[in-house]
Each structure stands twice: as structure tokens, then as C-alpha cells.
Amino acid sequence: MLKVYSVVLFLCIVQGLRGQAFSSDDFFRQSLSKLHQLEILTLDPISFPWIEEIELRTETRDFDLDMQEITLRVSPSTPKIRKAQAALLAHYRSEPDEDSADLYGDVVLNLYGDWLSLYFIQRELAITDSLQLILSDRQKVLERQLGTLDIDLRELVSLETDRNDLKQKVFELELEKKALVERYDLEMQEVSHRELISIEAIKANLVSTISPTQMPVDNKAQWEIEGLNRELALEQAERKKVFDFLQFKYRGPSEDLFREKYSMGLGFKLPTYGSRKLKVAELMHEKSLLDKELGLNAQERTAELVRVRSEILLELEKAEHFFDLKHQERKHLDELENLIKTKVGFNPQIVLQIKEHHLKESLKSLEFLEEIYFDYLKLLSVDGRLSTVPFVNYLKA
């Protein structure tokens, strides 16, 4: 019944658009194209050397250069350390740009909201234009009946105030529409909402909504956790390094060239790992805190998703009940109107009042629909689909 009433309602209030219509795809494409492409910072590639450190020491005796002592110490790296260093650097360079992501999400949300606002403004203007004509006709009929029938003058006063209130409402709607049209350069465009997703499709989407386990997680927190994992990998690689350094020493002039003038030494690390335990413990602690934070965020997002879905289901249930009632009401009133018209000398005020009632109920129906559509946007935002890259038009049928 919801589907039947929705079709009847919008066939009554929407005029067919002709010519080259400006669709929602055109609207989003034009608006998003104005966003400047983010500059990607390109950094020169870095190759980590096989030598971690070169140390050169010199010492003189009584400032006698002939007695100069020179020590050269070289600390080599290992393949695992170099690989871990490269992975950590690549991770640092991949830091998510949260500001740009937030900007994109806000822009898309505003675009969706403005496109829907323009749609409902146009629908409301179509109904209020018809309602103005009905009120004007009612006023003319009452004025003609003055002096011939027992007319309640308070009804004329009420009609006059209703007409002025409606004029103010139309004026405000026209201002809102003008602001949206100018904001998006739509003055020369014939805007079409014919492809707008239906209420039935929204209801079906509630079943296929992204589950909490599939929802996008906090990219920044995930990036930080991955960074800690790579720092831990580097610590593990450095802990397994056994060969510490190679040393070459020169001690001034000597008669025995190889025994006293030159010497070579090697340094090794015993795998006690005591000096690195504190660093590893610190990294593990930071990782556990971030894991806990991610878990809490996931719980909050799940609760928000459940709440928003419940709101939409509640609005849908209210709307379905209202539409069913009004469908039956319209059917009975239309039968009454046809019966009245068969009577000789019937009062046209009654027929006009029935038409006025239908239009006012159409405005109420529009309020139900607007609530559902904007709750649908909220749902898309909460489950992450609204910020999908590349852009997906979720308002298109």
C-alpha cells in the first residue's frame, strides 16, 4: 500500500520534466569536480646502507703527529634491519590525510542534503501553488454568497489569514530554492529528480546495510597500530644482530710494522636483550591502548548504527500507517465529492474544502517522506558508505 500511495501522491504533485534534464549524477559530478585535487608529496627514495655507523677517533701524544693514533670502527647492518627500516619509512610516508578525508566527507554530506532539500522544496511549492488557488476560489465563492446565504464571516477572516500565511511560506520556500540554485549554478538548468531512490528501495537497503564488522575503521588509529607493529619488527631485528662492529687501529711509527703499527678487532653482542626490553614493553603498551580505543570506537559506531536504523524503521512504520489511512480517506472523500456533485444546487464550498484537505494532507505526507530521506542520509554517513571513494550516488534509483 505504501508503494501505491507514493506513486499516486507524486503523480499528482509532480509535473513531468521535458528536455535535457539535470540529473543527480550531473549535480554531483559538477559539484565534486570543483574540489581541487590534493597535492601528493613526492619524496626521494631512500636506500638504507649496509653500514649503520662509521666512527673515526684520533689521539696524539704531546702533539706529535708522528705519534698519531687513529681508530676506525665500522658498525654493519643486517638484511632484516634494512628491510624493517624500509617498511617503517614507507609506513611513515603513508600517514592518512585526515583533514582531506574529513573535508571530502563533509562536502559529500552537504551535497546530498542540498539535493534532497531542493527536491522537497520543489515538491512543496507545487502543492502550495495548488493550495493557493483552492483558497482563492473558496474566498471568491464565499464573497459571492454574502447576502444570499447565512455565511459565517469568521470563515472569511480565517481564509484571509490562511492565504497570507501560505504566501509567507511560499516566499520563504522561493528564497531557499533561489539560494540553492545560485550556490550550484543551476539557474539555466532544468533539474530532474526522476531517478531519486524510492522509499521501497530505502527500506530494502536497511536489510543490506553494512554490518558493524564491515564498517570502515578509524584509519588514523589503524595507521598508528601498524606503525607500532613495524617499530616492534625493527626492534626484533636489532635484537637479533650479533655482529656489532669491525675495528681498525693505527698506532704511529714502529719498527715492527704489523705487530705494533696496525691492529684489527671485532665486536659481538650477546643476546641478553636487557637494554631493549623497556622499549619493547613501551611499544606493546601503546599498542594495547590503541587496540582498546579501536574496540570502544567500534562499539560506539555499532550502537549509533542500530539507533539510526531503528529511527528509520520507526519513521517508515509511521509513514506506512499514515499513507494507508489517507489512501482510504481519499477514496471515501472522492466518493462523497462525486455524490455531492450529482445534487442540484450543491454548495461548491464543500467540494473545495475536500480538495483543500487533500492538498494539506499531501504536505503532511511530504514531511514524513523528508524525515525518512534525511534519516537515510544519516545511516549512509554512520555506516561509512557516504564517504565511499570513488564517489557512489546512493540517491539514484
Please answer whether residues 21 and 194 qualify as being in contact, where contact means their C-beta atoms are separated by less than 8 angstroms.
Answer: yes
Residue 245, phi then psi, degrees to nearest 5: -160, 160
- State pLDDT tens for residues 348-392: 888 999 999 999 999 999 999 999 999 999 988 888 788 777 888
* pLDDT higher than 50, residue 54: yes
d(CA 29, CA 393): 10
Burial of 232 (0-12, 13-18, 19+ CB in 10 A): middle
Q: b/e string for 261-287 if b means 16 or more Cβ within 10 A?
A: eeeeeeeeeeeeeeeeeeeeeebeeeb
Task: Give pLDDT, residue 256.
Answer: 57
Please give the helix or strand (H or E) that residue 357 lies within, else none: helix 348-382
Superfamily of domain 2-47+82-240+279-387: Outer membrane efflux proteins (OEP) (1.20.1600.10)
Q: Take residue 281 and report the three cell numbers written for it.
A: 614493553
Range with the lowest mean pLDDT among 36-40, 279-283, 307-311? 36-40
Alpha helices in 263-346 (DSSP H): 274-341
Q: 241 or 307: whose pLDDT is higher?
A: 307
Can you give the residue ranges of every domain in the chain?
2-47+82-240+279-387
* pLDDT higher than 90, residue 181: yes
Please answer whether residues 209 and 379 qualify as being in contact, where contact means their C-beta atoms are separated by less than 8 angstroms.
Answer: yes
Q: pTM to 2 decimals?
A: 0.69
- State pLDDT tens for residues 129-152: 999 999 999 988 888 877 666 677
Which whole number is the average pLDDT over 166-190?
92
AA identity, residue 77 = S
Q: 256 or 8: whose pLDDT is higher?
A: 256
Alpha helices in 197-218 (DSSP H): 199-207
- State pLDDT tens for residues 149-177: 667 778 888 889 999 999 999 999 999 99
Task: Give pLDDT, residue 128.
Answer: 95
Q: Take residue 146 and report the three cell numbers written for it.
A: 454574502
